[in-house]
Amino acid sequence: MIADDCLGHLEVVYQKFFHFECFFNVYDVLCDKKITSIATEEYMDKNEEPKTFVSLEDFDFIGGFNLRISEADLSKIREHLALANEHKTRYFIPSVLKTSDVNCAAEECYFRSRRGSDIGKELGLLFQNNDYHPICLLKTGKVNCDSNEIGGHHSLSDDKKKLLDEHYKKDNASYLLPTAEVTSDEEYLCPALECSKFSSKIGYKIIGLRIRYHTKTYHPECFAEMGKVIMDGEEIGNYHKLSYSQKLRLRKLYKKSNDFGIPLIEKAIRNDYCTLPDCLAANGQPSKFPWPYTIKQDVLQVKFHGDIYHPSCFKSTQKVNLDVKVFRGYSGLDDEVKQELALNFMQNVVTGNVAVEDLNANWNASGTLDNLAMDNLLIQPPAKKSL
């Protein structure tokens, strides 16, 4: 729960009390609006029991709560949760240890398993509350940063800076590849919105085989369902190190498909976020967790390479040059919806005189454009973008 302390500072209550910023330095946060609670003045309506706190989910949907924090603090909370969701808080960024006594947490510490040079042995990095030698942390694959992004880099001697500079260079090409992992004493929670392995007994905890992608770790089934990559199971990192049954599991889940380059159009089964940064439905706010949802349940959405868009937002990205009729899921739509989709995707191609934001704004609750909106869209001039 997040609240103001007696001095008016934000604090987090999670088993213990934490300063707001300190909490995000030492904890990985399960980013779920339903479990992020904010203290509120006692609130009651005729259908509800009195509440002294409210989830961010309820606040965005129901309203009517008098929060015990300011609007500025609410924005601060959203911004920190967004950084936590993207793994950009200090918890996910290594920093230089202030001691030369490094209790390395790596499963295969370079200096425990190797004879020879001790160069770098006394330089340690703190990462996710554990000590590592720089080379040992790098081998875990958990970080992808340049040396000057490491906390405390500027205060090191030239020799130690040189050591970090040689090893820590951002490499997005290899970092984007999913990697299979098994052995570890660490506890991982699957961040997938619809975790297929969730249970009341273990929650989102991942037991056994997992897939690491960027800085996040998933159940193999959950990551496969996201549709982020096109590859066979044999191409996933560390495949050769797995047992026969684990390899079989990956081969069944990951298979190259000719459909990967074809968008899927369907009705949203849950509230979510449009990937387009300037989506009009966001009303000037970011279209991402934990701000109010921009894609509502039962409205038409387009899925492509693991991302979600409003149909007109996807059109504006120009990611594909395909007739909407070949989109997966199109054949199962109602004739009226098909007609309206054809209009949506045709206008920018044929006439070029329909503003994307106008198309977004006029999709109604059923995921279709109403007749009046369609008539208006046909005669509106191009929108002017603000500078």
- DSSP codes of every residue in 71-122: HHHHHHHHHHHHHHHTT-SGGGS-EE-SSS---B--TT-TTTS--S--TTTT
Positions of the chain with pLDDT under 70: 1-9, 13-17, 29-31, 41-51, 62-64, 113-120, 172-176, 347-387
User: How much is the pLDDT for 232?
Assistant: 95
Sign, CA dihedral 314-319-325-329, equals negative
Report whether 237 contacts 214 (CB < 8 A): no
> Per the structure block, which two tokens stand in for 61?
């949907």
Fold match flag (176-253 vs 264-379) = yes
Identify the CATH number of the domain defined by range 176-253.
3.30.1740.10
Q: Taking the chain, what is the end-to-end CA distance rounded to the nearest angstrom? A: 40
**Domain map of the chain by residue range?**
2-91, 93-174, 176-253, 264-379
User: How much is the pLDDT for 6?
Assistant: 43
Q: Please name the fold of domain 264-379.
A: first zn-finger domain of poly(adp-ribose) polymerase-1 (3.30.1740)
